[in-house]
Structures are given as structure tokens and as C-alpha cells.
Structure 1
């Protein structure tokens, strides 16, 4: 987080505060969230989370076929893992990671009267949820939305706590494109999902599908891929499974917390034995005992993000089905910039959701947080190879200003259609 000080040659729309994320370079996650690599299927997620030897379970959003890449998916999977520990007769469980999967597992174990310690590498809890102050307001620079709201256990916690919730209608963006008016994107997306040859690798299938379209249809389809797939799965087409077309993203009555996700996370961590600054590099689960760092137990629930999971040493090695599952799962690249201004100078979207279609893609999604947080604030999202194009060789201030430029281009394109 930083503040920008006006200069004599500054532009009119200069942010007064900003934050740029670098989740892909964070050693404790190495990416945003899990996604399906070529050949990957939801079955690989389930296989990764199987109970091993009655002593070890890998858990988290990467293991949840029903809600992958979502915070409540991590929470639910932590509880699934805790139930496996209970059924195995565990007496002392080592939980690795104090993100929502680890908190879900440890809370459930504690409720069952089972001794449990949580080892967290960072000096904070929450994992890929992280609320911080930007000027006078709280913003989430990691996960921000309570997705699949009706089936979201964390949403029920927020409601019980009486926290303020604000809905976002992702189905109605105020959209603009750099090459003229844009329409038909949603219809193009559904047509692609129905018409693509799923027997082919995704990139090849898309190429053949586009080649058969009229230019206007191909343009709308390319924008649909940028806005409905790449920004969700967070990798280029050549690195994605065709099954990625069917994994749910945003758009299920999603709500966010103007006061930050930390309100829920801090509540869920109350009363737990969490040891901060305890990164795990080796999990010894041979024999009847599990050893992690200086801790000993008879069961381990490992909830580290997939990017970190692939770097851990397991003794003995993970069985082949779990190694195969990891080979078919990867970490997507998604970054966020939050910009704050003295005034809202961009067109107001009725839903607070903005889309910017450019070639090549850059900052595809924007969320206007102004009305919810009471200060002109927007959050922009960028994914896959666009991150390298926009971030490489730039410091955070330069990245923030480049994002501002994209927002200005979007605003000009919208105003041209009014």
C-alpha cells in the first residue's frame, strides 16, 4: 500500500492512494487459486483430498470439486478433512495453514474435543484473504466476495455476526471495448460452451471454433473468453483444461463485506491454538506418528495453497494418485489493484461492476466500491499472461498508473456511447 503525491505534471485523474498485489510472487501461495490444467477434471480435485494411511489429508479449495477457487470452498473442505480425522480416531491433529480451510478444520476438531494445533507460515491469519486499510477505508486485496451465497457457510457466519453485506450483480456489467461498441458477449459465451469440440485441447478447440465464425461473432467470442474464462481460470488457453469451461466463477448472488473479510476470519480464529511464523517444509507421516517441525501428532491436515503444496517434502512420498492429481492442477495468476481518488470521475455502473475489453486483454474487470465504502475507490483485476505484460519492468506506482490509464480508456469508451 502506498500514497501518491500530486506532481506539477500529474494528470487530472491521479489516485491519492493505491495497493497492488503480487500473489504470484508470494512464497506462501505462489498464485491466486487452483485451476484445471490440460487433462484435468474435477475428479483430480477429489483424488487430491483423499485420506492417506489414516494419518494425512490434503485440504482446501483445490480439493473441492463443488466450490473450487472459492473461500467457502476452502472452509467446507477443511471441515471435510476434519471429519476424516475424527473417523480415523485422531487424538492430536497438526493443521498446516491458518487460511479458511485450516480454520474450518481446526474449529470443527475443537468442537469435537480433539487436540489441535495450527501452524501458520505468515505472521497473520487468513491466507489468501487479507483486509487492509487504504486511506480511511478497509479493502480486501485477496478474496473479497461471499460467492454462491445461498450455499455459503461463511455467509451464514457473516449474517449471524450482523455484518453489513452488499450484493454485486455480475450479470449486468457496464461494458466497453477499445474497438467500438460491444454486445452479444454473454450469448457468444454460451454458444462457445455448447459448440466447441470438447475432444480437442482447449486452445485448439477454441481456434477451430473461432475460425468458423463471422468476424463480429468471433470478436464477441474472444471478448467472452477474456471476460468469462481467462479472468476466472487465470491462465492462458494453452494451459487450461477444456473442463475449465464448466467450473463456476462469480455470478451466484455474490455479496461482499465493506468492512473486510477479516471480520469473519478473526471471529473464526477465536480460541484456536494458532502458531504464527511457522512455515512447514517437510511432513513426515511414516509409521504411526506425524511430525511437522517440532510438533508431533497422529494426524495431519495440510491446507497450504496448491503452489506451496508442490514444494513440500512428504516422507514417504505422496501416493501416485495424489501426484497425478497435482500434475493436473495448477495455480492461476490473478492480481488486483485498488485505486482511491478524491472524487468519482468515471461513469457510474448501476451494479458497481465494470468490464473493459481490450486487445490484448489488460484490466478486464473493475469493481466500483465507492458507494459501499464511502470513498471513491475501485478495484481492478488482471489475469494470466496480461499480468506479465502490465507488471514486467514496472514498480507498483507505475502499475497503479497503468491501471488508472485502462480505467480512463474504459470511461472514455463508455461516454462515447452515451
Structure 2
């Protein structure tokens, strides 16, 4: 890293893919997967067990409010089933939503959380004088987001990110029209083919300029969003909603919202669920029993839980078509902001092969020169494998420096 002109004074590297309680960032559609698989996964079983979370939400998958809304759905099912005592597995947003709704309905509810903290894949940490989010950072689809209502009621500081106006650069020359390339691909691809084959067929008859623009569009708008390589994604992943609807982040950390939503709930930490027995009148999890269970663990962990009896074929089939996207974040903090300033706070870097393609400049929001870079899918293996966190942070810094240099050459 001798080429580095700027070294971070602090950094943080996430490892969600290795986290035993998540095994990835969020759910993605595998080949052949459709939104209907998400819906099937969340169907109530024998009137006493339901799986819930962002993976079960066909409207807002991979989003915190998608998890929240699905937790509410699960709670309503428990109420309709006449449940008097409910076990909720997991204290992420789906579990918190379910538990709050049940408590408000006067139903006894116990939340069993495997971690020693709340929030699941939402976790704010201190980095020097500021708070940064390891996992989820944005309140997405803001105008339709129930969590945004809670944040506003609490008076939490919010900062909008205009994903449509990134300060962007490409490593190999002038930046093409990424949005046009993306829409042309979505309109022109043969959707009867597996995604990777459809992309290859689409690119066959295009010139090199279109192929380059399309590769960049795929890197930014699909692979960095769904967090798996093309070969591991469904064609339907092209249509799942992502960022860009008035999204806002919380400069003081997402965990403050978690703490508020957990107030008054019976949450028991360090209680991983390894088995769920729903064979009798009562559902049993370790030494707890209830007449209904809502299981909100991420699908990467769901496969490790022993269900008795096993999950029915519809749920097994749904799980076969859903995977965990692999996405990590590197947060860098410096003595000064040495990179070009984006009016939107949003940066995009197009390189071949892809690396840290998406950045959020937190500096103005938190008051300290801080940026967070995202890296996903097969780029993780190239960058993370065999490197220490410090080495990964320096590779990220190198990518940020290359982006800044490319902008200055324009």
C-alpha cells in the first residue's frame, strides 16, 4: 500500500458473512426464485408456527421496514389463531414488531434472542467520536416506511441520500449512461433464460461501449443490491425494489431506534434457538413453550434449526430458492476530508473487476471526516480472503483514492 497518500486514523470492517447469527446481509432470489417463494415461506403452519422477516416480504425484501411489516403480519396471524402465549425467535425488526403488536393486544409474549444485544442485522458502533452502522443504515422507501414515523416522532436526526445523483467515476475512462444501460437491459433481456445466460445473450450483439455500460449497470444496480454473482441470481432479482425512494439515514445510529422499539418487551438475550418442536399442542423451544411461535431468524440461520416435524414441502421449496446475499462494509475515518465532495453524499466507483462500488460520505452528517464503502458478492473473495481487517481497510482506502483520482482527471 505504498501508493496510499492518505491513511485512515480509524476504521471498522464488518463480517456479516461469517456471523453465525446471520450468515450474510439479507435475502436474495436464487435461480428460479420469485416473489411467490417469499410469500410461501411465510405461510402459517398448523395454526401455531409462522416464519417471518424481510425474506418473507415480497413487497419490501432486504429492508428493515420489510422485516417490520412482516413481523406485524405474523403477529396478526397469531392473534387470529387465538394465541394466549407466543414465543418470538429473534429481536431484529421483525421480532420487535411482532412482540410490540402482541403486547398491545394484551397477549403474553417472550422474545428469545441468540445474540447478547438487540437489533439483529442492525447494529450501531462507536468509531472515535461518532456512531456508525455496521449493518442496515437507511430508512428506505421513506414515505411508506412505518419506521420513519417512529424516527420522526422521536425527533431523531435524519439525513436524506439522493441515490439518483451520485458523484461517480470509472477507472477506465469516461462514465457511460448507467441508468440508460440498466433500463435497456431490463427491457431487452430474454427472461425465459437463466439470468447469467440471458445477460450473455443480450450482450452478444452489442458493441463494446454498450457491453461496458451494461457491465457497470449490473455491478451497481444488481450485484451490489442483491449481493450475489449473476450465476446465483434469479431473473426476477432484476425487478426487486432497491434504494432510491427518499431514503434517509440516522447520523446518530440506527440502534437508537431499536432501543426505543424494544422498550417494555420481555426479551431474553443469549438464547439461541437450535430446535423448534411444533409436533404437539404447544410449540417448544428449549425450556420455553407457548401455543404459537413466530420465528424471525435470517434464512441463512433458519436452515440450521431442527424443526420437528420438518418444514412442509412449500417452505422447503421456498428456502431452496432463497439465499443470503454477501455484503460487507468498511468504514474509514480521517483527520481531514481529502476526497471530492458529493452534494448528495453518495459516491459510485466503477472498476473492473468490481470492488468497493458504493460509498456514503458521512462527514457532514456526523461532523468528522468519515466514509463507508460497500462491497458485495464475488468481490468479497477477491478483497477479504487472507487479509486482516487493517489490510482490508487499506484496500478500501486505495479504492477511494482511485475514485478521487479518476474524478480529478475528468
Match of 2:308 in 1: 315
For residue 289 of structure 2, the aligned residue among 267, 276, 296 is 296
Q: Deviations over 1:145-182 (max 9, x none)?
A: 00000110000000000111110000111111110011
CA contact (8 A) 2:86 2:108 kept: yes
- How many Å separate the matches in 2 of 1:250 and 1:109? 30
2:405 aligns to what SS in structure 1? Answer: helix
- How many Å separate the matches in 1 of 2:32 and 2:5? 49
- How many Å separate the matches in 2 of 1:371 and 1:176? 21
- CA shift for structure 1 position 183: 2.2
**Structural mapping, 1:3-402, within 5 Å:** 11-402=4-395
1:379 aligns to what SS in structure 2? Answer: strand
Q: Deviations over 1:64-105 (max 9, x none)?
A: 000000000000000000000000000100000000000000
- CA shift for structure 1 position 310: 1.1
Alignment TM-score, normalising by the size of structure 2: 0.99
Stretches of structure 1 that go unaligned for 5 or more consecutive residues are 1-6
- How many Å separate the matches in 2 of 1:10 and 1:397? 16
- CA shift for structure 1 position 111: 0.2
- How many Å separate the matches in 2 of 1:372 and 1:195? 40
For the aligned residue pairs, the C-alpha RMSD in angstroms reads: 1.0
2:371 aligns to what SS in structure 1? Answer: strand
Q: How many residues align?
A: 410
- How many Å separate the matches in 2 of 1:341 and 1:248? 34
- CA shift for structure 1 position 11: 4.4
- CA shift for structure 1 position 210: 1.0
- How many Å separate the matches in 2 of 1:334 and 1:299? 33
- CA shift for structure 1 position 287: 1.5
- How many Å separate the matches in 2 of 1:294 and 1:287? 15
The yes-or-no answer on 1:403 pairing with 2:396 is yes
CA contact (8 A) 2:4 2:398 kept: no
- How many Å separate the matches in 1 of 2:269 and 2:36? 33
- How many Å separate the matches in 1 of 2:237 and 2:254? 27
1:363 aligns to what SS in structure 2? Answer: coil
Which ranges of 4 or more aligned residues in structure 1 deviate by more than 4 Å? none
2:196 aligns to what SS in structure 1? Answer: helix
- How many Å separate the matches in 2 of 1:328 and 1:12? 45
- CA shift for structure 1 position 214: 1.1
Alignment TM-score, normalising by the size of structure 1: 0.97
Q: Deviations over 1:84-136 (max 9, x none)?
A: 00000001000000000000000000000000000000000000000010000
- CA shift for structure 1 position 370: 0.3
